[in-house]
């Protein structure tokens, strides 16, 4: 059963404005996680807002939990949770107050709202901070509270828009743990991210989007295979490059590429570990002791570059210290 289906969504902001969605289609199997992976401005938030009934598309259709998003938005709202770039939390109130207030908004009675707040604060390790105003919370605590607020009424389908952007590595790991637990509980999750490794870590299936369209779809492994399989890489002393290159070619049957600067020889292999062992044996017989040897799988960064012809902006941001670098801090 598909929990989320989007067909040919188109959305422009304003007259002659940017086409944020340009025929976007996707689907998510019930109980699985789809990672919507794309750089800044590719249409991730717009997609989530349409699916969560906050925005009407110009054309196209979508269902969530089998309910038509355009025809029955109120019904859809009852079964979804939404968290991310929306921050509806009240800074001056405590974590406890925020959650009980949300509970009342979702029509829980007073004791029901308190009980649910208690459970969620516990689940997200916020019990100790429950009575503090949330303006005193760290970024990670805030994100956890924001996520908790989207779970007041246990949703069937959850949308998380960049749940870890701006968190430090520890905060990110904690958030990954929390999300993992939620998914084990059976929720269907659509998660947007610009972190390639986050999609790799959390998603069963990844849709890569660029300029408002899905440009590739598959598991992390499938996407990586699409770019190319494993490569054998070895680094040797400069005076051994020629001999070692010959041995690698003998085993792999392909002319290896050689980077003399870093003394690295690399060649694609189909049967990774068998080739690795064979090369090691031949090198040993030839008394060549590699400085480094290993099998390398393409990373999702390789995937992104190969699919879009440009580096994911988050990487560019890292290099030039653009707006993403600030956003990540
Ligand atoms: N309210 C708006 N008015 C006008 N243009 C908008 C509006 N919201 C988004 N856009 C434009 O639509 C495009 C898609 O934006 P969207 O926010 O969906 O991207 P995103 O993938 O979520 O980006 P980010 O990673 O920065 O959150 C961008 O070009 C953006 O400038
Ligand atoms: Mg966004």
Q: Spelled out in words, what is the top-level CATH class assigned to the domain 2-225? A: alpha beta
* For the CA of 45, the nearest atom of ligand 1: 22
Q: Whose CA is nearest to atom 6 of ligand 1?
A: 13
CA–centroid distance, 25 to ligand 2, in Å, is 18
Q: What is the mean pLDDT of the chain?
A: 87
How many angstroms separate the alpha carbon of residue 97 from the centre of ligand 2? 28
Exposed, middle or buried by CB within 10 Å (0-12, 13-18, 19+), for 142?
A: buried
pLDDT of 199 > 60? The answer is yes
Report pLDDT for 283.
95
pLDDT in the model for residue 79:
93
Show me where the domains of the chain are located. Answer: 2-225, 230-296
Residue 236 has pLDDT above 60, yes or no: yes
Element (DSSP H or E) covering residue 302: helix 300-308
**Does the beta carbon of 57 lie inside 6 Å of ligand 1?**
no
Domain 230-296 has CATH 2.60.40.420: no
Protein residue with least CA distance to atom 24, ligand 1: 40
Residue nearest to atom 2 of ligand 1 (CA): 13
Say yes or no: CB of residue 42 within 6 Å of ligand 1: yes
Residue 18 CA, chain-centre distance (Å), reads 24
Does ligand 1 have an atom closer than 6 angstroms to the CB of 45? Answer: yes
DSSP-derived 3-state class of residue 85: coil
For 15, counting Cβ atoms within 10 Å of its Cβ (0-12 exposed, 13-18 middle, 19+ buried), the class is exposed
CA of 46 relative to ligand 2 center, distance in Å? 7
Say if residues 24 and 213 touch (Cβ distance below 8 Å): yes
Please give the share of the chain, as a percent, with pLDDT higher than 70: 90
pLDDT band of 17, cuts 50, 70, 90 = confident
CB atoms within 10 A of CB 177: 9
pLDDT tens by residue, 141-159 = 888 898 899 888 889 999 9
Give tens-digit pLDDT for 60-106: 999 999 999 999 999 999 899 988 755 578 889 999 999 999 888 88
The yes-or-no verdict on residue 319 having pLDDT over 60 is no
* Ligand 2 centroid from CA 40, angstroms: 7
Q: From 11, 44, 56, 313, give the residue whose CB has the most ligand 1 atoms within 8 Å, as the site to mutate.
A: 44
């Amino acid at each position: 059963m598909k929990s989320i289906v989007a067909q040919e969504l188109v959305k422009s902001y304003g007259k002659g404005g940017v086409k944020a969605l340009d025929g976007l289609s996707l689907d998510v199997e019930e109980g699985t996680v789809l990672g919507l992976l794309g750089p800044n401005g590719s249409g991730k938030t717009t997609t989530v807002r349409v699916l969560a009934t906050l925005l009407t598309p110009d054309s196209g259709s979508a269902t969530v939990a089998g309910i038509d998003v355009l025809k029955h938005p109120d019904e859809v709202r009852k079964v979804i949770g939404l968290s991310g770039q929306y921050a509806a939390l009240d800074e001056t109130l405590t974590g406890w107050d925020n959650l009980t207030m949300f509970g009342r908004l979702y029509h829980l009675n007073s004791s029901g709202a308190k009980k649910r707040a208690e459970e969620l604060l516990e689940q997200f390790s916020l019990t100790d901070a429950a009575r503090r105003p949330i303006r005193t919370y760290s970024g990670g605590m805030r994100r956890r509270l924001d996520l908790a607020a989207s779970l007041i009424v246990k949703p069937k389908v959850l949308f998380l828009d960049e749940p870890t952007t701006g968190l430090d590595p520890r905060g990110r790991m904690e958030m990954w743990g929390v999300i993992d637990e939620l998914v084990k509980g059976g929720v269907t999750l659509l998660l947007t991210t610009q972190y390639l490794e986050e999609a790799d870590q959390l998603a069963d299936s990844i849709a890569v989007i660029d300029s408002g369209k899905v440009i590739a779809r598959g598991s992390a492994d499938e996407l990586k295979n699409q770019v190319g399989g494993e490569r054998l890489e070895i680094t040797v002393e400069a005076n051994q490059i020629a001999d070692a290159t010959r041995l690698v070619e003998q085993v792999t049957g392909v002319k290896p590429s050689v980077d003399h600067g870093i003394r690295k020889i690399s060649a694609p292999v189909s049967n990774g570990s068998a080739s690795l062992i064979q090369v090691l044996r031949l090198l040993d017989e030839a008394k060549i002791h590699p400085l480094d040897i290993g099998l390398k799988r393409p990373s999702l960064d390789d995937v992104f570059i190969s699919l879009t012809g440009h580096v994911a902006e988050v990487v560019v941001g890292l290099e030039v210290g653009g707006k993403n670098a600030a956003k990540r801090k």
